[in-house]
Amino acid sequence: TKNKTGERDPEMHQTKKGNQWHFGMKAHIGVDARTGLTHSFTTTAANEHDLNQADQLLHGEEAFILADAGYRGAEKRDEL
């Protein structure tokens, strides 16, 4: 978990999923379903919930949205 200088990156954190621990960061990527092109991208620490980034992945012109279970409940958020 340390780099060559022995320092920890303050942006990286650990999280537990099931019985596995993971250390690092997550990439959140918004992709156009028709073209397959990426239209938005953001990164967070591994311990931040996916749902906190849902508004960063939407551009406002979506006809429909497909997402994994980490974004479940997004439709209930006022900011979306």
Cβ within 8 Å of residue 49, ≥6 positions away: 70
Give the CA distances from residue 25 to residues 12, 40, 42, 78, 80, in Å, rounded to whole numbers and listed in that order: 6, 17, 10, 26, 24
Cβ-in-10-Å burial (0-12, 13-18, 19+) of 24 comes to middle
Q: What is the pLDDT of residue 9?
A: 76
Ordered by start, the domain boundaries in the chain are: 13-76
The string of pLDDT tens digits covering residues 15-62 is 888 898 888 889 999 999 999 999 999 999 988 888 889 889 988 888
